[in-house]
Amino acid sequence: MCGIIACAGVRRASEILYKGLCDLEYRGYDSAGISVKRGGEIVTVKRAGRVSAIECARRLGGSAGIGHTRWATHGRPSDENAHPHCRGGFSVVHNGIIENYAVLKEELIAEGDEFISQTDSEVVVHLLAKYYRGDLKEAVLRTVARLKGAFALCILHEDFEGFVAVKYRNPVIVGCGNGCFAASDMPALSGIAARVAVLKDGQIAFACEGGFTFCDFEGNAASLTFSPLPPQARSGGTAGFPHYMIKEINEIPAAIRQTAAAFETEGCARAFAKLRRKKFSQVMLCGCGTAYHAALAAAYAGEELIGVPVRAETAGEYRYRRRGSLAGTLFAAVSQSGETADTVEAARTAKAAGALVAAVTNVPYSALTSVADIVVPVRAGAEICVAATKSYCGQCAALGLMFSALAGGRHYRQAKRALGEAEGMCAGAISHCAVEDVARACASASAVYFIGRGADYPAALEGSLKLKEVSYVPGEGFPAGELKHGPIALIDGGTLTVAVITDPALAEKTASAVEQVCARGGRAAVVCAEGCEPEGLRERAEFFITVPRSALFPAIISAIPLQLIAYRTAVILGRDPDKPRNLAKSVTVE
Ligand code: M6R
């Protein structure tokens, strides 16, 4: 995904845009660019690299402008492929994918246009220039009518004082304060916009000094209600921590507390009362990456609690699988951002097949919530680090509460109590887990494998994902019982295996897998919940980390040492854990 921002009716547009791009940089950091309006002229600066590569653009000034930070999809990161794209008095930034760009490009080339970039986005500015005959609205309407795919656009034209913002399947938030603003998310508007509104799919905003006017893709006038920028939309910077990742790990107890509090609101209670009245024959959980791991972890306890089959699958696989009717199915789509294309599309598919769709998300105004029948709140607060940490724990908390609420009042009260205890356990684990030696071992290992059984298996998958994405140390997560069926061939003295043990009933079994690793000369570390320690394991494993035991929310507690190990390994190896190479915070393309 990419980040887009725009402003109008301001004194130093370039300063506002530059700061906004720094806030949006988690959405992509392959290239950055800014166009500003100075008098009747549009001035553009764009470069490959991070936002800091266009630091000089801060001095451009201007009364209106647009900006972009890119996660490359079509065309490698380069100056030419950086946005904004300019032509015929227009300048455009785009987040999304123009699926029919090849056909449009061919048509435009046949008409004599020359393209400068390899991007899909450049066709938008060519279409605008083609259709502009002195009427900006008409040019925008004719252009969007030709586009297929997903697009959030901000547009400048030399004859228009302000900017135009267009939303289709990718987010655009508009804001007003001392000027008019638009951005891909709310944190980028904090400090500049006092009041905000979320554009709906198929809406266009025209912003100038006098304020906003809105219309739909047919040109009919539309209206939007602005409300104060919510406090949780403010990221608050790194607050004295060296990186967002460690700041956000430290915010896990607050994420759990706020998520539990959100379940107490009247709206949430009503939604669950409605859900309890329905008789589901199965529950399907879907998500990508970390969100999928939270779903998988929740499926174990969920099935036990509600007594019907609960399955979890990655959204990218689920959406393309053929299936029959999903009547009687609760389909819970789990996504921090609520923007991940595969997850949103999986939810749409499930809804079309008759499922009741729940959005388990940290972003209440996201695309996912607009598809869903009900919203299951995660309240982790703005998560800026590309690696998900506090949102994972928030998702585990929300899914645990969701299943216990479905199981009935007694279970819900029990889960609330257990979550309150887990919050304290997390705070303890964050300050007491000594991970430095394990992180050093990870940093020098040829590969790191994570193993676990039962609900510790998704924890192992998540530990492995976290480590590789921020440190680039290769590795994998396996069910502990699978090790001997093949993966054990990978074990040698250069590898480290991290075992997660939080269930006393399965502890001895995972301990056997650790024994097998040690017997082959592999190094081993164990993350073990209190009271689950198999005899003699502490002596055999090279590293042993004890965490408090939460019977209902084990994945929340074991996540803390695993996230800390990943963070410290990244720092030891000199990586930037907040912005790992090749990644973006969420993936709005297939
Ligand atoms: O916003 P989402 O939760 O839908 O994002 C899903 C994944 O892209 C995300 O969890 C990704 O795996 C993170 N980089 C993990 O740290």
Q: pLDDT tens digits, residue range 446-500?
A: 999 999 999 999 999 999 999 999 999 999 999 999 999 999 999 999 999 999 9
Sequence-distant (≥ 6) Cβ neighbours of residue 135 within 8 angstroms: none
379-413 burial: b if 16+ Cβ within 10 Å, else e: bbbbbbbbbbbbbbbbbbbbbbbbbbbbbeeebbe
Closest residue by CA, ligand 1 atom 4: 335
pLDDT number for residue 277:
86
The secondary element (H helix, E strand) that includes residue 180 is strand 179-183
So what's the pLDDT on residue 374?
94
Whether residue 469 has its Cβ less than 6 Å from ligand 1: yes
Residue 216 structure tokens: 């739909």
Percent of the chain clearing pLDDT 90 (strictly above): 90
Expressed in angstroms and rounded, the spacing between residue 451 Cα and the centre of ligand 1 is 21
Ligand 1 atom nearest the C-alpha of 343 is 4
Query: Is the per-residue pLDDT at 378 higher than 90?
Result: yes
For the stretch 408-425, pLDDT in tens is 889 999 999 999 999 999
Q: What was the pLDDT predicted at 82? A: 97
* Three-state secondary structure call for residue 125: helix
Pick 412 or 589 by higher pLDDT: 412
- Band (276; pLDDT cuts 50, 70, 90): confident
Q: Whose CA is nearest to atom 11 of ligand 1?
A: 289
Higher model confidence: residue 296 or residue 408? Answer: 296
Kindly indicate the confidence band of residue 273, based on its pLDDT and cuts at 50, 70 and 90: confident
Q: Are 33 and 82 in contact (CB under 8 A)?
A: yes
387 C-beta closer than 6 A to ligand 1: yes
| Mutational pocket test of ligand 1: of 288, 293, 319, 335, the residue with most ligand atoms within 8 Å of the beta carbon | 288
Residue for token pair 């009271």: 531
Rounded to a whole number of angstroms, the distance between the first and last alpha carbons of the chain is: 11
Q: What's the pLDDT tens digit per position in 226-265?
A: 999 987 777 678 999 999 999 999 999 999 999 999 999 9
Evaluate: CB of 360 within 6 angstroms of ligand 1: no
The confidence band for 47, taking pLDDT boundaries of 50, 70 and 90, is very high
- Whole-angstrom Cα distance, residue 435 to residue 239? 23
Q: Which pair of tokens denotes residue 444?
A: 């020098």
User: Ligand 1 within 6 A of 361 CB?
Assistant: no
Which residue is closest in CA terms to ligand 1's atom 16? 387
Distance 589 CA to ligand 1 centre (A): 13
Say if ligand 1 is within 6 A of residue 336 CB. yes
C-alpha dihedral sign at 526, 533, 500, 258: negative
**58-93, pLDDT tens digit by residue?**
999 999 999 999 988 888 999 999 999 999 999 999
Residue 337 has pLDDT above 80, yes or no: yes
Is any atom of ligand 1 closer than 6 Å to the C-beta of 335?
Answer: yes
> What is the structure's pLDDT at 409?
87
- Tell me which of 363, 466, 587 to substitute to probe ligand 1's pocket, judged by most ligand atoms within 8 Å of the beta carbon: 587
Report the candidate in 390, 64, 448, 74 with the shortest Cα–Cα distance to residue 235: 390
- Segment 101-108 shows an average pLDDT of 98
Cα(336)–Cα(199) distance, rounded to whole angstroms? 20
26 or 166: which leads in pLDDT: 166
Please tell me if the CB atom of residue 290 comes closer than 6 angstroms to any atom of ligand 1. yes
Give me ligand 1 centre to Cα 37, in Å.
36
**Nearest CA, atom 7, ligand 1:** 289
Cα dihedral 183, 256, 587, 195, rounded to 10, equals -10
DSSP string, 291-342: HHHHHHHHHHHHHHHH-S-EEEEEHHHHTTS-----TTEEEEEEESSS--HH
- CB 343 near ligand 1, within 6 Å: yes
Reported confidence tier of residue 275, pLDDT bands at 50, 70, 90: confident
Contact (Cβ atoms closer than 8 angstroms) between residue 463 and residue 436:
no
CB 343 within 8 A of CB 335: yes
What local confidence, expressed as pLDDT, does residue 324 receive? Answer: 87
Q: What is the mean pLDDT of the chain?
A: 95
Q: Is 586 in the pocket of ligand 1 (CB under 6 A)?
A: yes
Distance CA 128, CA 157 (A): 10
- CB neighbour list of residue 267: distance below 8 Å, 6 or more residues apart: none
Question: Looking at ligand 1, which residue's alpha carbon is closest to its atom 14?
Answer: 387
Q: Any catalytic annotation for residue 585?
A: yes
Q: What is the reported pLDDT for 362? A: 96
Residues 6+ apart with CB under 8 A from 377: 259, 262, 263, 265, 268, 361, 364, 398
Q: What percent of the chain has pLDDT over 70?
A: 100
Could you give the CA distance from residue 15 to residue 204 in angstroms, rounded to a whole number?
25
Cα 30 to averaged position of ligand 1 atoms, centre (Å)? 18
Residue 516 has pLDDT above 90, yes or no: yes
Q: Is 386 in the pocket of ligand 1 (CB under 6 A)?
A: yes
CA–CA dist 69, 2 (Å, integer): 6
Amino acid of residue 504: P
Atom of ligand 1 nearest to the CA of 389: 16
